[in-house]
A and B are shown apart, each in its own frame.
Chain A
Amino acid sequence: MSNNKSPKLSRRKFIIGAAAGTTAVGLGLVSLSSCTNKPTWQELPKILGKTIQYDDFSDIYREIWKWDKVVKGTHTRANCISACSWDVYVKDGIAWREEQNAIYEPPRPDVPDMNPRGCQKGACYTSLQLSEARVTHPLKRVGERGGGGWKRISWDEALTEIADGLIDAAVDQGTESIIYDHGTTNAGYGPETAGDFRFASAMKTTTIDSWSGVGDMPMGACQTWGMYNCEGTSDDWFRSDYIVIWVGNPVYTRIPEVHNMHEARYKGAKLVVVAPDLSPSTVHADMWLNIKPETDAALGLACAQVMIEENLIKKDYILEQTDLPFLIRKDTQKFLRQSDLQADGVDNALYFWDEKTTKAVLAPGCEGDGDDGRSLDLGNYKPALSGNFQVKLADGKTVECYTVYDKLVKQLNSEYRPDQAAAITGLNPNLIRRFAREMAAAPRAMIFASWGACKHYHSDLFQRAMILLMSLTGNQGYPGGGVRVAAWWGLDGIDAMMADIGLTAMDQIKLIPKAIRGLTPRDFEDIYTTVSETEANTPLMPFLYVHAGYKEMWDQEHLQDSALPHNIAHYMRESIDNGWVKIHPAEGVQPKAFIFTGCNPLRRWPSSQIARDVFWPKLDLVVSVNFRMSTSSLYADYFLPIAAYYEKVGIKYGQSYVHYLICSDKATEPLGESKSDWECFGLLSKYVQNRAKERNIGPVEGFKGQTHDLTTVYDHHTENGYYNPEEPDDPIKLMDKVFENSPSVAANSGREALDMGAVRIIGPARPSLIYQNFSDYDPEDTHWPHRDFVEKKVAWPTLTGRQQFFIDHPWYIDAGEDMPVHKDPPHFNSKFPLRMNGGHNRWSIHAIWRDHKLLLRLQRGVPALFMNPKDCDPRDIKDGDTVRVHNNNGEFEAMVKVAPATAPGEVIIYHAWEPYQFKNWKGQQEPVEAPWKALHLAGGYGQIHYRMYYGSPGHAPRGAPVDVEKVSSLLEEKA
């Protein structure tokens, strides 16, 4: 504890010169501020002498414990999917406890309310932020990286040295050689994140786009819909009649939301779980399909076969909302295009067969329909779903066409009948039929597929199959229906997070005509692509491939898709050359500096030993900005301590589960010398600018070879002084701007929002880079995705303008994935007999809380993996034994929990143990090669393209082939 009199210097009096008889008081503790006439230390003993009565320690407990204040808080950058408002109780400058708020009003009387919200992690954050893992002083590495040698330095020293390092990197290799990583969706909507965004933008750093890099990109949704936001409020789940949890475990991962699924059962809904293991979500299910891992697409397609064969499909919906009636040329096996029919025709104008006119007609809503592909309104057209059609081409030849639907049916009938799928999935064919029939018969069916459904090699195929089911049954776009992964709340004022919105004046002028006739989802996607290309955003996997030493691993033969004619190196080359994938810094430019906040690359990146051993040594400067010492931080050069969640203001990113945006007020001052993110990154920009001036640094190479002036970084960051990040109220000033410009929420200012804690959503917002749910918001209803498409007949942002199941991109055709199919992953025939899976766990949010003692008490207390007795017995493994998990790529040791709930052949290790929690710091990622699909590098085709936060390769950590051997038994260890 300190006071303004610098206790450190006062204390030294005891050592320097003072004689024993001298009493020096007035150090860290100060007299109670609540005393009317605040006594000095010298006066206090006399005052106490008049009143003090102390017999034993029970006396101190007689006083009623009174809180100094209670504020509304949350965990703004914990990267937890839920958003929960907490009352945070403060006394004597410490946040002691938090209590779930119960302030959420249900939108309508016939759905469950959301009170209270919160989980056991949130309920103990007060203790986590005071735990010994907290770092409270700027640190500088001494000795080797990762050697454990640190010393405290002042903020001034740290910022000066880091600024000089960043300037050196920029001078040497350009500003793109500075790599900034904020993790996956680990970004809030306010000052807790805006500081680092502004810093990166002002510096023109390379920004790692980790969204798909962590395996969180639903690529199947991107391929099918041209977008991936697909969720509503979780009370909308209650309106479903048939809820399928498919590659997810919401009992662990959606703690505040999952009750809606369970409560739906009380009104007659059926809850079905599709999972290899008897997951904790399964125990509440009415039916469990214990599928073989990674065969989910086969199950989905078999269900589609049953639905179509038994005519359980919604034909009107299919004709309007999907590409199934679109025509395919039989000779080329590609869409019939206008360029086929007319000499001056375009490639993105596509056709269906109109039964009324018996002609191929241009499909309204497709990208090249001549009206900007805006509407799905079929007018007088009556598309044929099936049939063979003769079409005359521009060159006079006649070709035969059939429909996507026919292609699908042919494929389903030949490869995915339930008997055939049974051999792949291990499920009884009758069970598959029953599942398909029940799903089709349900008035409203939904599939809850979590982010985990993006982490398998062929996750996109799973998702395409799932979306197919929801389309065939007419569920997508309706309450209680459709595939659900996630969505965010839009917030128009979020632009304030950046100093500029990324569009040039010319870009904005070009938008005016479109804005006048109404921007479509496809227009928005064009805007995002433009914005994305104004800065050095680069997707993580390609970055690691090009710059971080991963190429050697991922080029290996056993990690390739055998259906493709080439190695991934070939596709990478083609994608870079075509400008499809964005690589920053460019090939040949050396990354020089790495600054990361809110993420933990050496814990999270696959085979993180490669990053540590190959990428790290390339870097002259590694800076971690965090409130705790993560594994990655332990390998940094500098550590800048950041205020914990209750020590700063912020806006939690708004996942759409709850009808509110959750804000966090500042409960206490930052501990020790830590600072808010807003101040820290503001200072970093300031120091770069000042040091650049002091060192007479001229223009350096910036984004894409343009020159960049480092002497204006802080001016850009602060909008020429509009903000002053060192001012205590500056973050609220930013929040004011956010809320003043956000008519979709109930608060009009930052302070009002902070006092509310939970700010009601009251209307729709415009789409943004992360928000594209395309649904109106009605405050008196639940919320569900994709209403605009089915209610307003707005065209989907795909080539066809529809939910598109046929993708005739040449790479997709080569891979045999032009239609949804089941494919075995590359590791299918691996010699290693077990498959390692996992998922987010119940006891932490990624690595945060992972080593918290309170939560470790609820588990084994050490990294543990789950194995079936059938796999343990032949290996002589007993519960509690330590085993070595290994393959040719790496290994780690962990305790085994013998669990019959685990599928035979499967090893489950839940998410996010810190490598330092394992022997020799070898973490669970070491054996994980995590190959990824070359197809995800494709571009130049309608919805198949990259932009920031969309459409790039996610790695596939699931299903890693391993073997397990016993190292020691629990009894031996005890002995």
Chain B
Amino acid sequence: MNIPTKSTLSAKQRSFAYGLMAATFDYPDKEFTELIHNKQLSDQCKTILCDIYPALKEDIDWTLLTTQDDKETLQVEFSRLFDVGASGPPCPLNGGVYLEERMQTLEEMVRFYNYFGLTAGEDFEELPDHITTQLEFMHFLCHCEDEHQDDPEKANHFQRAQRDFINRHLGKWVPQLNDNVQENQAAPFYLTLIDMVTRYILLEKQYVNNLCGMITVN
């Protein structure tokens, strides 16, 4: 698809999309399972993400984001893929696991967050390199961009940060996560979910690179 080369996409929408994707990694409790069963999750993802990148409409089988698997089935699958296993789960949701040095990745996360006035806080449940945390950071950067839409120079600081964060992190490891869930024959819901996030991140990568210019990513 044609990825815009100018800042034509709504930062507010994109911010929302990241917040939405972060929410999809919640553990499937009763309420969350209902959101899956009643298609709310699927519909919302399709609406929001395809509004930004229409090509996703065809690339993803959105029907698979709705399943009638019961709560326990979803929980067991979540735990099998992301939570527990010999030497750890087969598809960890922590990006640093996929990159060269975990602690260095974590340090860079914290540096990014601190630079933009954020911290994990004392009572965190998820680590700085967890997919939810990273998606929420993108959500925040896009939100900041949106707040400064009338001042392109200021907005550009946040766009460049998005570019670097995606190129150095989400864009690097989420595709590996996608490979892992396929190798581990994840249930269709999680296969589709990770595929959706991966495709979205890769489109975003092209967008922010077009917007700010590629940098040498080491």
- A and B pair up: yes
Binding site for B on A (CB under 8 A): 1-4, 8, 11-16, 18, 20-25, 27-33, 35, 39, 41, 44-49, 52-57, 59-61, 63, 65, 91-94, 96-97, 126-127, 130-137, 139, 142-143, 148-152, 629, 631, 634, 639, 668-669, 671-673, 851, 914, 916-917, 921
Identify 22 residue pairs between A and B in the complex whose beta-carbon atoms are under 8 Å apart, listed by A's number: A3-B121, A3-B123, A15-B35, A22-B16, A25-B140, A27-B19, A29-B140, A46-B147, A56-B215, A60-B114, A65-B111, A92-B110, A94-B106, A130-B106, A131-B88, A131-B102, A135-B83, A135-B84, A149-B76, A150-B83, A151-B72, A917-B87
Residues of B within 8 A of A133 (CB): 87-88
Q: Is the CB of A54 within 8 A of B157?
A: yes
Query: How far in angstroms is the closest Cβ of chain A from B149?
Result: 11
How far is A60 from B161 in the complex, measured between Cα atoms in Å?
Answer: 10
Looking across the interface, which residue of chain B has its beta carbon closest to that of A133? B88
Q: Is the CB of B75 within 8 A of A151?
A: yes
Q: Which of A27, A94, A143, A148 contacts B136 (CB 8 A)?
A: A27
Query: How far in angstroms is the closest Cβ of chain B from A871?
Result: 31
How far is A94 from B24 in the complex, measured between Cα atoms in Å?
Answer: 25
Among A11, A25, A47, A672, which residue has the most Cβ atoms of chain B within 10 A? Answer: A11
Query: How far in angstroms is the closest Cβ of chain A from B205?
Result: 15
How far is A46 from B143 in the complex, measured between Cα atoms in Å?
Answer: 11
Q: Is the CB of B92 within 8 A of A132?
A: yes
Residues of B within 8 A of A150 (CB): 76, 79-80, 83-84
Residues of A within 8 A of B103 (CB): 96-97, 126-127, 130
Looking across the interface, which residue of chain B has its beta carbon closest to that of A34? B119
Q: Which of A22, A48, A65, A152 contacts B117 (CB 8 A)?
A: A48
How far is A28 from B138 in the complex, measured between Cα atoms in Å?
Answer: 12
How far is A634 from B23 in the complex, measured between Cα atoms in Å?
Answer: 29
With A29-B136, A33-B119, A131-B102 as given contacts, are A45 and B157 in contact (CB-CB < 8 Å)?
no
Q: Which of B26, B120, B154, B168 contacts A49 (CB 8 A)?
A: B154
Looking across the interface, which residue of chain A has its beta carbon closest to that of B44? A15
**14 further contact pairs, Cβ within 8 A, besides A11-B26, A22-B16, A127-B103:** A1-B120, A1-B127, A14-B20, A15-B40, A23-B143, A29-B136, A54-B158, A57-B168, A60-B108, A92-B128, A93-B123, A96-B103, A150-B83, A629-B85
Q: Is the CB of B107 within 8 A of A29?
A: no
How far is A671 from B120 in the complex, measured between Cα atoms in Å?
Answer: 12
How far is A317 from B75 in the complex, measured between Cα atoms in Å?
Answer: 70
Query: How far in angstroms is the closest Cβ of chain B from A844?
Result: 13
Q: Is the CB of B41 within 8 A of A15?
A: yes
Q: Within B81-118, which residues are at the interface with A (CB < 8 Å)?
A: 83-89, 92, 94, 97, 102-103, 106-108, 110-118
Q: How many residues of B contact A (CB 8 A)?
A: 81
Q: Is the CB of A96 within 8 A of B117?
A: no
With A11-B23, A60-B115, A629-B84 as given contacts, are A65 and B40 in contact (CB-CB < 8 Å)?
no
How far is A658 from B172 in the complex, measured between Cα atoms in Å?
Answer: 47
Query: How far in angstroms is the closest Cβ of chain A from B204?
Result: 16
How far is A44 from B26 in the complex, measured between Cα atoms in Å?
Answer: 26
Q: Is the CB of A152 within 8 A of B121?
A: no
Q: Within B162-192, which residues are at the interface with A (CB < 8 Å)?
A: 164, 168
Residues of A within 8 A of B124 (CB): 1-2, 28, 93
Q: Which 4 A-B pairs have the closest CB atoms?
A: A132-B88, A1-B124, A916-B86, A11-B23
With A1-B124, A15-B35, A33-B119 as given contacts, are A629 and B86 in contact (CB-CB < 8 Å)?
yes
Looking across the interface, which residue of chain A has its beta carbon closest to that of B86? A916
Q: Is the CB of B12 within 8 A of A23?
A: yes
Residues of B within 8 A of A921 (CB): 86
Residues of B within 8 A of A672 (CB): 125-126
How far is A671 from B140 in the complex, measured between Cα atoms in Å?
Answer: 24
Residues of B within 8 A of A21 (CB): 12-13, 16
Residues of B within 8 A of A916 (CB): 86-87
Among A14, A31, A134, A631, which residue has the most Cβ atoms of chain B within 10 A? Answer: A14
Query: How far in angstroms is the closest Cβ of chain B from A673?
Result: 7
How far is A139 from B151 in the complex, measured between Cα atoms in Å?
Answer: 50
Residues of B within 8 A of A57 (CB): 108, 112, 164, 168, 215
How far is A131 from B120 in the complex, measured between Cα atoms in Å?
Answer: 18
Q: Is the CB of A35 within 8 A of B83?
A: no
Q: Is the CB of B16 within 8 A of A20?
A: yes
With A15-B40, A16-B35 as given contacts, are A139 and B84 in contact (CB-CB < 8 Å)?
yes
Q: Is the CB of B154 within 8 A of A30?
A: no
Q: Is the CB of B80 within 8 A of A30?
A: no
How far is A181 from B105 in the complex, measured between Cα atoms in Å?
Answer: 38
Chain B 207-218: CB-based contact to A (< 8 A → 1; otherwise 0) = 000000001000
Residues of A within 8 A of B168 (CB): 57
Q: Is the CB of A54 within 8 A of B125?
A: no
Looking across the interface, which residue of chain B has its beta carbon closest to that of A916? B86
Chain B facing A: main interface SS: helix
Residues of B within 8 A of A61 (CB): 111
Q: Is the CB of B121 within 8 A of A52?
A: no
How far is A150 from B97 in the complex, measured between Cα atoms in Å?
Answer: 22
How far is A441 from B78 in the complex, measured between Cα atoms in Å?
Answer: 68
Among B44, B124, B160, which residue has the most Cβ atoms of chain A within 10 A? Answer: B124
Interface presence of B148 (CB below 8 A):
yes
Q: Is the CB of A669 within 8 A of B86?
A: no
Q: Is the CB of A28 within 8 A of B126?
A: yes
Q: Which of B94, B115, B118, B160 contacts A29 (CB 8 A)?
A: B118
Q: Is the CB of B16 within 8 A of A14?
A: yes
How far is A669 from B123 in the complex, measured between Cα atoms in Å?
Answer: 7
Residues of B within 8 A of A15 (CB): 20, 23-24, 35, 40-41, 44
Query: How far in angstroms is the closest Cβ of chain B from A2?
Result: 5
How far is A41 from B97 in the complex, measured between Cα atoms in Å?
Answer: 29
Interface presence of B139 (CB below 8 A):
yes
How far is A136 from B92 in the complex, measured between Cα atoms in Å?
Answer: 13
Q: Is the CB of A148 within 8 A of B85?
A: yes
How far is A139 from B76 in the complex, measured between Cα atoms in Å?
Answer: 10
Q: Is the CB of B123 within 8 A of A63?
A: no
Interface presence of B198 (CB below 8 A):
no
Query: How far in angstroms is the closest Cβ of chain A from B100?
Result: 11
Query: How far in angstroms is the closest Cβ of chain B from A127?
Result: 5
How far is A100 from B80 in the complex, measured between Cα atoms in Å?
Answer: 37
Q: Is the CB of A31 within 8 A of B144?
A: no
How far is A41 from B140 in the complex, measured between Cα atoms in Å?
Answer: 9
Among A13, A52, A127, which residue has the most Cβ atoms of chain B within 10 A? Answer: A52
Looking across the interface, which residue of chain B has its beta carbon closest to that of A44? B117
Looking across the interface, which residue of chain A has its beta carbon closest to that of B116? A48
With A48-B144, A53-B157, A133-B87 as given contacts, are A2 and B115 in contact (CB-CB < 8 Å)?
no
Q: Is the CB of A25 within 8 A of B83?
A: no
Q: Is the CB of A14 within 8 A of B23?
A: yes
Interface presence of B31 (CB below 8 A):
yes
With A20-B13, A916-B87 as given contacts, are A32 and B117 in contact (CB-CB < 8 Å)?
yes
Residues of A within 8 A of B15 (CB): 23
Interface presence of B48 (CB below 8 A):
yes
Q: Is the CB of B126 within 8 A of A152?
A: no
Q: Is the CB of B117 within 8 A of A142?
A: no
How far is A669 from B122 in the complex, measured between Cα atoms in Å?
Answer: 7
Q: Within B10-33, which residues are at the interface with A (CB < 8 Å)?
A: 12-13, 15-17, 19-20, 22-24, 26-27, 31-32
Looking across the interface, which residue of chain B has its beta carbon closest to that of A153? B75
How far is A668 from B122 in the complex, measured between Cα atoms in Å?
Answer: 8
Query: How far in angstroms is the closest Cβ of chain B from A924?
Result: 16
Looking across the interface, which residue of chain B has its beta carbon closest to that of A151? B75
Residues of B within 8 A of A130 (CB): 102-103, 106, 127
Looking across the interface, which residue of chain A has its beta carbon closest to that of B110? A92
How far is A701 from B76 in the complex, measured between Cα atoms in Å?
Answer: 37
How far is A525 from B161 in the complex, measured between Cα atoms in Å?
Answer: 69
Q: Is the CB of A93 within 8 A of B121?
A: yes
Residues of B within 8 A of A22 (CB): 16
Q: Is the CB of B139 within 8 A of A25?
A: yes
Residues of A within 8 A of B127 (CB): 1, 94, 130, 671
Looking across the interface, which residue of chain A has its beta carbon closest to that of B73? A142
Q: Is the CB of B86 within 8 A of A152?
A: no
Among B32, B87, B128, which residue has the most Cβ atoms of chain A within 10 A? Answer: B87
